[in-house]
Amino acid sequence: MFNNIFKKVILTSIWFLLSVSTTASSSDVQSDMLVKKQRFEMDNFVTFGGKTIKHVAVGYESYGQLNANKDNVILVPHYFSANSHAAGKYHVDDTQAGYWDAIIGPDKAIDTNQYYVISVDSLVNLNANDPNTITTGPASIDPDTGKPYGMTFPVVTMRDFVNVQKAVLESLGIKKLHAVVGASMGSMQAIEWAASYPDWVPRMISIVGTGQIDAWGTSMLEQWAIPVRLDPNWKNGDYYQSTPPTEGLISALMFITQDALTPEFFNQMGDSPAVSQQAGQAAALQDINRSPAIVNWLRELAKKRVALMDANHLLYLVRANQLFVAGQQQNLASGLQNVKAKTLFLPASNDMLLMPYLAQDAYQILKEQGKETELLPLTGPLGHLNGVQLISQQADKIKQFLAE
């Protein structure tokens, strides 16, 4: 159990994390590092599934300076609902910094005095309507038709996210990474990098991560897609000239929020006056169409985020996650065979979304293959979100791992 002061801090920071899209941080020291979204474009991108996307545009951000040898690069792929805003602020008056500002910056765990840190907006990024996100996906215009792709956009995978990142890096003259570090879906891209381009990756850190999505995870991810597809406004993805499936998307975000947290956190929320179990019960007893307070809280949080997001992009992100197995071989062990990186896994002990057995499995395989690998737990009441909100607890370990 966490004490009241800690609880208040956590509730406040979670509120920000969940309510202001991807620009949030638990860092008490607010960043004064100013950053700028940059744009990368390429033609004729061939997907892992063999389809061609005629034109790809993605955003990226960088923190720190690329050295003359271009060998001080740390790539930070982002998690499911985030974009490349991993640290810093766009304007001095931004209320929140990028999601990992606690560990990325001058003298921080990922030290921008030393490293050139870069993050790239994924394909099919969830925040398609966010002016600070540049992505290509079903909401983008298909050059062949002049209309949004909708469901005609090809299925993309973690390998495709990685290949776009590789193209960005190569456009900057970079030929090798110092490290790749990612949380959650970012960890999938990190280990995919290590498996697919082993000569690029001497160090890999997987935070609240996994080497693959298993049958359980595949079904759980499907729960996020289902409300979008049920929403009558979804119309098989062809809603760009009409009302978007906002209710379905809000429901999906409610599910994602719950899956990323824990009973401990929810029940502490339920103890606070605004969302107490008691507060909503009288109304819920009298009217089947009134919701309990905790449900209203979840829904209001989701509503704040939904305008910047695209429902079809969520479906494509779900699929990219469902298809994930590092290295894209018959099984995870084959996929990890070529990994050369030394690796560090930091699963959260109480993660309900990517449970710790997943990181443990990847770690175990790498160990059995005779590779240098390490696993340490993250603790805290936030489950999966310990990897974002409470990452500072392993700042020293991350710094040391990157230095070796």
Q: Site residues (CB under 8 A) for its own copies?
A: 48-49, 151, 153, 155, 157, 214-216, 218-220, 222-223, 226-227, 230-232, 247-248, 251, 254-255, 258, 262-263, 266-267, 269-270, 275, 277-278, 281, 284-289, 291-292, 294-295, 298, 315-316, 319, 322-323, 325, 330, 355, 357
**Least distance in angstroms from the C-beta of 32 to its own copies:** 37
Burial code of 69-81, b = ≥16 C-beta within 10 A, e = fewer?
eeebbbbbbbbbb
Provide the token pair at 394. 């392993």
**Nearer of residues 172 and 333 to its own copies, judged by Cβ:** 333
**Residue of 78, 178, 313, 384 marked catalytic:** 384
Strands 141-142 and 147-148: antiparallel
Closest to 161 in 3D by CA, of 143, 184, 141: 184
Which pair of tokens denotes residue 288? Answer: 């089947």
Rounded to the nearest whole angstrom, what is the least distance from the CB of residue 56 to its own copies in the complex?
Answer: 18
Catalytic residue among 21, 184, 187, 206: 184
Residue 327 CB, shortest distance to its own copies, in Å, is 14
Is residue 344 classed as helix, strand or coil in its secondary structure? strand
Residue 140 to residue 135: CA distance in whole angstroms: 8
Tell me which residue has tokens 């719950």.
Answer: 258
Helix 4-19 × helix 293-306 angle, to 10°: 40
- CA-CA distance, 107 to 349, in Å (whole number)? 28
Closest distance of CB 295 from its own copies, Å: 5
Q: Residue 331 and residue 325: Cα distance in Å, rounded?
A: 7
Distance in Å, CB of 354 to its own copies, minimum: 11
With residue 73 as reference, give the H or E element that holds it. strand 73-75
- DSSP per-residue letters across 302-345: HHHHHTT--HHHHHHHHHHHHT-BTTSSSSHHHHHTT--SEEEE
Closer by beta carbon to its own copies, 118 or else 261:
261
CB-nearer residue toward its own copies: 275 or 339: 275
Residue 59 or 356 having the CB closest to its own copies: 356
187's tokens: 């960890």
CA pair distance 239, 259, nearest whole angstrom: 28
Q: Is 384 a catalytic residue?
A: yes
Residue 151 vs 307, nearer CB to its own copies: 151
Give the residue with the Cβ less far from its own copies, 61 or 247.
247
The CB-of-298 to its own copies minimum distance in angstroms stands at 6
**For this structure, is 351 an active site residue?**
yes
Catalytically active residues are 184, 351, 384
